[in-house]
Amino acid sequence: MKNDCLFCAIAAGEIPSSKVYEDELCYAFFDIAPQAPVHFLVIPKEHIGSVAEVNGDNSPVVAHIFEVIAKVARELGLESYRVVSNVGEQAGQSVHHLHFHVLSGRDMTWPPG
């Protein structure tokens, strides 16, 4: 757990969140400022700063997160959804703990803005 990391504190239960799913490796919760009718985030419990910090040692948790995304989406009855991870300021990353946005429930444009 990294000091002063919002998502480490959420994963540890120190800051309240609206939980969607949890296991020993990852935590999923609804976004506080949803950008679609369904918008949740999936994060590893271990601190990884972003996709840019994924490597051979920590990539198993990323594979696991994608299994969790598929499972949770099935359970929520989502037939179509978008998975996004912003890396760095220009891409819009505001929280520096790896997270995957899962957005669903409305038409989406491509390319994203």
- Name the residues annotated as catalytic: 99
Report if residue 93 touches ligand AMP, rule: CB under 6 A.
yes
Q: Is the peptide bond before 111 cis (omega within 30 degrees of 0)?
A: yes
Report if residue 17 touches ligand AMP, rule: CB under 6 A.
yes
Looking at the Cβ atoms of 72 and 95, the one nearer to ligand AMP is 95
Report if residue 32 touches ligand AMP, rule: CB under 6 A.
yes
Question: How distant, in Å, are the alpha carbons of 13, 14, 18, 73, 103 from that of 84?
Answer: 24, 25, 19, 14, 8
Per-residue string for binding with ligand AMP, 47-86, x by CB under 6 A? ---------------------------------------x
Neighbours of 88 (CB within 10 A): 11
Report if residue 46 touches ligand AMP, rule: CB under 6 A.
no
Report if residue 92 touches ligand AMP, rule: CB under 6 A.
yes
> Tokens representing 113?
């803005």
Distance of CA 10 to the CA centre of its chain: 12
Binding region for ligand AMP (CB under 6 A): 6, 17, 29, 31-33, 86, 92-95
